Amino acid sequence: MAKSLGIFVTSAKNMKHVMGVTKAAKAKGCKVKVFFTWKGTELAKTADFPELCKMADDVSICADSYKKCGFDPADIPQGLTDKEMATQAQHGGIIEDYDCYMTL
Amino acid sequence: MKILNVYRTAPTADVKKLVEIVSEGREASSFDLNVAAPDYDKLVDMVLAADKTICWW
Amino acid sequence: MSKKVCFMLVHPDYTLDGLRSCLGLAVENMYSYAVVLNQTLPPLDDYNKENIDWIRDMEGEVYSNVPANCENEGLEPLSLEELGQKLRDMDVIVPYGMMP
C-alpha cells in the first residue's frame, strides 16, 4: 500500500520543491497533504498554487499567518475553501496521521 | 533506523555537526535539493524508504 | 503515545512565528520544543513571553545556544552538541524557515 506524505511549508522560497515533490509522490500513489504557515502562506498567491490544490489530497494554510503576512483572510486563495483557511492543528494532523514528513 | 538528510541549501558547519551527531550509529543517506533540477522522483523514493526525514534549511 | 517535536529557529524573521507554531503542537498534546540558534532575540513582548510560558506549561521547553537569550529571556541553555543529542530522541525535527 502506498504511503502518505505530509509537507509542512515554512519558507516562501520552496514552491518549486513543493510542486516537484507532490507531483512525484502522487505519481507513486501516495496520499499527500500540504500545510503552509508563516511566510509560506505567500506561496498561496503564486501561479502554481491552484494546480497544487488539484494535485494534492489536502492543502490548507494558516489563516493567522496569512493575515500577518498582509493578506485579507476574506480573500481566499484560488483552490482553497474557507475550511482550508486553518490553524496549526493541520500541522499536528500531518505528524499524527501521515507516514512520512517533510519541511520545505 | 534509516535517516534521510535533505539539504535545501549548502549545509553550514553547524548543520554538518548536527547531522553527524543525529546520524551516528544509524543508516544515513542524503539528498541535495540545492541544484538546478532536483530529481524529485528519486527524492520521494528516498523519503518513503526512510524512517525519518530531516529537511535542513 | 505523544510525539516529540523540535523546532530549530535560526532566522530572526521566522523565530517568533516558529515559537507560535511550537505552541500549536503543544496544544495538540505533543511534546513540543524549540531552540533559538545563533541569534539574539529582541526584547520579547507579553504575547511572545506568554507563548513560551504556555509551551512550558504543556511540558515543552524553549532553549538557546546564545547566553544573552538565557539571561534576558529566561531560555534554557543548550549547546550545539547537546542539541544534536536531543534531536536523536525526537520523532520530528523541524528546521523552520530559512537560513539568514
For chain B, the structural domain boundaries read 2-56
Minimum CA–CA partner of C25 in chain A: A92
Q: Which residue's entry shows cell 543517506?
A: B29
Minimum CA–CA partner of C28 in chain A: A92
All 3 cell numbers of residue C42? 529582541
Split at pLDDT 50, 70, 90, the class of C1 is confident
| Torsion angle defined by CA atoms of residues C31, B29, B7 and A27, in that order, rounded to the nearest 10 degrees | -90
CB contact under 8 A, B55 and C95: yes
Tell me how far apart the alpha carbons of residues C94 and A101 are, in angstroms, rounded to a whole number: 10
> What is the average pLDDT across C17-39?
97
Question: Which tens digit of pLDDT belongs to each residue from A25-84?
Answer: 999 999 999 999 999 999 999 999 999 999 999 999 999 999 999 999 999 999 999 999
- Structural domain boundaries in chain C: 4-96
Number of structural domains (chain A) is 1
Q: What is the DSSP letter of B25?
A: T
Question: How many other C-beta atoms are found inside a 10 Å radius of the C-beta of residue A83?
Answer: 8
Q: Which of C88, C97, C98 sits opposite B22 (nearest CB)?
A: C88
Question: Which tens digit of pLDDT belongs to each residue from A4-19?
Answer: 999 999 999 999 999 9
Coil, helix or strand at residue B34: coil
Model pLDDT, residue A1: 54
The residue among A9, A14, A88 with the most chain C CBs within 10 A of its CB, best to mutate, is: A88
Domain that holds residue A82: 4-103
CATH class of C4-96: alpha beta
Output the domain CATH number for residue A37.
3.40.1260.10
Tell me how far apart the alpha carbons of residues A97 and B6 are, in angstroms, rounded to a whole number: 22
Question: Which tens digit of pLDDT belongs to each residue from C41-98?
Answer: 999 999 999 999 999 999 999 999 999 999 999 999 999 999 999 999 999 999 999 9
Q: Which residue's entry shows cell 496569512?
A: A66
Tell me how far apart the alpha carbons of residues C33 and C58 are, in angstroms, rounded to a whole number: 10
% of chain B surpassing 70 pLDDT: 100
Instruction: Report ipTM for this prediction.
Output: 0.95
% of chain A surpassing 70 pLDDT: 99
